[in-house]
Every structure is written in structure tokens, then in C-alpha cells.
Amino acid sequence: MKSLSAAIVAAVLLALLFDTFAPAHSQQVKRPNIVIILGDDLGFADMSSFGGEIKTPNLDELAKEGVRFTQFYTHASCSPTRSMLLTGVDTHLNGLGNMDEWAAPNQWDVDGYEGHLRRNLTTLPQLLRDAGYHTYMAGKWHMGKAPDLIPAARGFERDFSLLDGAGSYWDMWNFTAISPKSTFTEDGRYLIRLPKDYYATKTYTDKIISDIEADRKDGKPFFVYLSEQAPHDPYHLPRDWRNRHVGEYDKGWDVVRNERLQRQIKMGITAPGTDLAERMWFVPDASLLAPATRAIMGKKMELYAGMVENMDYHVGRLMDYLKTIGEYDNTIFIVFGDNGAEGADLFKMIAGTPGTRDFLFASMVWSETNPNAWGDPHSYVGYGPAWAQVSMTPFSQYKGNLAEGGIRNALIVSGPIDRQAAGSINHQAVLHVADIMPTLLEVAGAKRPQTYQGQEQPPLIGESWVKMLEGKEASPRTDKDYLAWEIFGNCAVRQGDWKLVWQYKPYGTGEWQLFNLAEDLGERHDLAAERPEKVKELVALWDDYVKANHVILPSRVLWEGMEQKLPQRYPVEPGFPPLIYKSQFVPPKDMLANPKP
């Protein structure tokens, strides 16, 4: 008996000793799983939980169970946003100071402008993997193609990834003659062909479910980065998803945008009295277009809506799977779009003019131009600036620009991290995509070291949301904190309700503009002349940002020659000029007469 008792005591002491020195993550009985769902060019107002008429029941379920945020910021383009999501480091220090595709000559071979994630940086999946998480990715990468830059080299143990910034949803065709095929990896190997019956949105979900299933019996938590390609153009869609909104958008973008605003006001996404941003000056009033033209333009939006609904459907498949295996209630979901909706004609930018190499390539590879074939392989459709503004209701402009329509996104957070009232809407917290890394490291009980594998790490720019989501603070930022952006030479800084913006003509004025976002969500009223002291304060913050992050303004920009290509800019006012809005005069019937003989 004495020896048995001694053995029991020894076992207890050993258990206590192990518990004392065990890693923090092993002390938790069940750490939460993490799923990031990133829509590509998904607009602020597209999901029905943010005012859209597009049906997104699965994403809406996450919104009803969690909390929606209306002041969440990304960057104005895809790879810069993704770089901050996965590193928590400003773009000018993490390698995406400019997009690889548009880097200016004075940025070539400059640290911070490599066009891919810098090799010395540690990533969120690396640190979560070190902390005992499985790490899975499926979808668009867009942050490097060399073997030491692909997802498998940056912390993902399983992946199925499109390394390019966009491409066909049906096959491996890319956009230029010099780079005709998209590059894919699976679990660290470059694919020579795609799986049978490949369709991007479906296949990405299939792969994530398969990855989780393969490892789920070991009991480890998982981190999923579902980096959707949808709804980025080209708008490719299975035929049975194309006819769910037939004729719905023939009424035109102005009507749909106003309907979205009214829904946003009714559900509390925006405040009563909010004004829509001014319609882009080169976008026509849809009511003045011929019916056939409106129908063709409306068909593009029908395809876009179908892509968002198809993405929602496949997100629902993942949700249902997690429910089936009993992991749904222990999973944190973070849902948002990577930048504003795409209003530029990307296909035209790539194809160029007749007689060029890429125009010939585009004519052969993207040859299905009949509207009845839109959505099929070899078709290329984007919906243009008019519908992009609808997607970004009520904001000004869209992707690529630093108006709110380029950088503000809908955000849903749900799961065990959230202690807010189910279905609540948070208008107070000003959040940034770089916040996600410190937030999830805290959730996982992981830390980011000052040096990683012998490499000094630049500072994180984000703030953890954990206390906010637990209801212990209203926002991770005060009115003294500021956010700043630079992309393609456009610049912006926000502190409190004030935002200072400098943009190239024609989208900007070539001067600093000042807006009060609490009173002017649509950025209609430039207050720079009225508040020069506020401009001076914010310019000082901008200078501080430039110095701290080694910002190099580009010597060449996307906007070259655009002012000459677009119509001259004049204010857009409904009903002006009256000449074209006045209906036929109809005399009283009792005063009608035939001419006298």
C-alpha cells in the first residue's frame, strides 16, 4: 500500500511539474479554430447583411451570430492588403510597397518594394503552426512564386493556391502572351494540370474540407485561410447560377444604389440622412440609356451577383461540414473583402490596342464575347465603374483609389472570440486589416518574437481586437491614433473623424483634400480651405508615416494620361440639364383641336 501511495504522489507531482513548465497553448483544453474568408474585390454593400439585394444566407448567418463592423479598413488593392493580413507589417516594409505588376522604375530593387512578401518576415501561419495549429490555405496567393515564397514556404502545411493575382475560374489560362498560364501549387508542389471538374470557388472549398478531415482526429486546432478568387473578374460562373437575377438590374445603377442605401439605413448600417457619394462624372445616368443597353449592362451585374451567391453557397458547405464534425461552435470566423470593388477595365488595360502582342493573345484566348456565353470558359466580363459604385454604397470611388470606396470594407466576426450581442453592429471601432495578426496571436496564445530564425522583425502596426470583442473596451484605437495609406502615388491619412487625401487627377485634384467622415461619408465636401490648421496637423502625421515606413513615391503611376482620356470633370447633379429630363408636354384633352380649314 505504501509503495502504491508513493507512486500516486509521484505521478501527481510529475503532472503538476509538467503543467508548470508546459507551453501556454497546451494548458488550454480546446483552443478555437480560426477561419478567414477573404472575398476578392467584394464590395462593402454586396452581402445582404450590409444592404445588398444579393442573397448571401450563409454569410448572413455569421453576421446574425456575430458582430458587423462598419469602420474596417484594408488597402486599395489586393496584394498589399494580403501582405498586411499575413504579416501585420506596413506594406512599405513587408515587400508590397507597390504591387509587383505596377512598380515604378524608382522602386525597382528597393527594399520594401520587392513585389512579394520579404523573405525575412515571419507570417501569421508560421507563428500559429509553431503554436500547435494546423495551417491550411486555398485560393489566391499573389505574394510570390519562387519556391521560398509560396504558401508552403511561408507557414502553410497544406495549400491549394493560385499564385497569380487573377485568372480563369475554369482552367489555367492567364492574361498576357508572355505569361499565358496561371501558376498553381498544391502542398508545396507546382501543378502541371488542374483537378478534374475544376471550378475555382468549388475546388477551394473542397480542398479545405479535405485538409481538415485528413487531420481532425489528432485534436489539434486549425487555421484556415480561404482566400477566394470570387468575385474578381473575369466573371466565370456555372450555367445554373447565371439566371437568378434576370432583368433585376435593368433599372440601372442609380436606382439599385439608392435601394441599397435605404436598406442600409433601415438595418442600421448607415445613419439616417446619409448622402450617397456623387456618381462618377464619366458614368451616365442609366435612365437615359436605351433599354437594350441597360439590359446588357444589367447582365454584367447579374453575373457578378451570381458569383457572390455561389461563393456564399460554398462557404455554407464549409460551415455545414464544421457543424457535422462538431467544430463549428469552436470556430472563429473573420469575413471581409480585400479592397474596394473593381471599377477599372482590367481586360482593356491588359490587352492594350489592336496590333499588339497582348491584343492578339486576348482575341484568341478570351474569344467568347457573345453575351449568351458570358460566364463560360474563354469569356471575359467585368462590370465597370457604375456597378462598382453600387457595390461600394454609400462611398466614393472604388478599388485603386484612397477614397472610402477603395479602402473601407464590410467586416463580420463571429465565434468564441465574440462576446457582443448576437447580430450587433459596431460603428465606433476604427479597425485595420493589420490588426488581425496581433488579434489571432493573442487568441492562440502565441507571441511574435523580435527576431525570428535569426531575422530582426519590423514592428507590427495593428492592435488586438480581443478586449473590444470581449466588451472590455469600445475600440482598440483612440482619436489620437492614426492610419495612413499610400498606393500608386495616392496618399491618405485618417485620425478620429478627419481624413486627408491626396490623389492624382482625374480621380483627385492633385491637392490635399480634407473630409469629416462623421458628417460626410460620401466625401462630397472638401474642407481643406476652411480648416487649414487641421490640414497642417494631418500632413504632419503623413510625414511621420512616410519617415517611419520608408515610403518612396513612384516616378510613374497608373493615372498617366487618364485625365485626357476621360471626359472633363463637372459636378453630377440629378436632373441637370433639365432639357433632357423634361417629358413631352401633354395639353388638356378639352383643349385639343384639329386645324381649321
**Separation between Cα atoms, residue 439 and residue 466, nearest integer Å:** 6
Cα–Cα distances in Å, from 273 out to 265, 429, 489, 527? Answer: 8, 21, 33, 20
**Separation between Cα atoms, residue 164 and residue 317, nearest integer Å:** 25
**Separation between Cα atoms, residue 95 and residue 92, nearest integer Å:** 6
Identify whether the C-beta of residue 134 lies closer than 8 Å to the C-beta of residue 222: yes
Q: Reply yes or no: is the peptide bond before residue 284 cis, omega within 30 of 0.
A: no
Helix/strand/coil percent split, the chain, to 5:
35, 15, 50
**Separation between Cα atoms, residue 162 and residue 85, nearest integer Å:** 17
Catalytic residue among 116, 134, 142, 245: 142
**Separation between Cα atoms, residue 572 and residue 589, nearest integer Å:** 37
Q: Reply yes or no: is the peptide bond before residue 394 cis, omega within 30 of 0.
A: yes
Residues 6+ apart with CB under 8 A from 503: 401, 402, 403, 490, 491, 509, 510, 513
Runs of H (alpha helix) within 55-198: 57-65, 78-87, 91-94, 124-130
**Separation between Cα atoms, residue 120 and residue 169, nearest integer Å:** 33
C-alpha cell read off for 45: 454593400
- β-bridge partners, 132: none
For the question of residue 142 being annotated catalytic, the response is yes
For the question of residue 78 being annotated catalytic, the response is yes
Catalytic residues: 78, 142
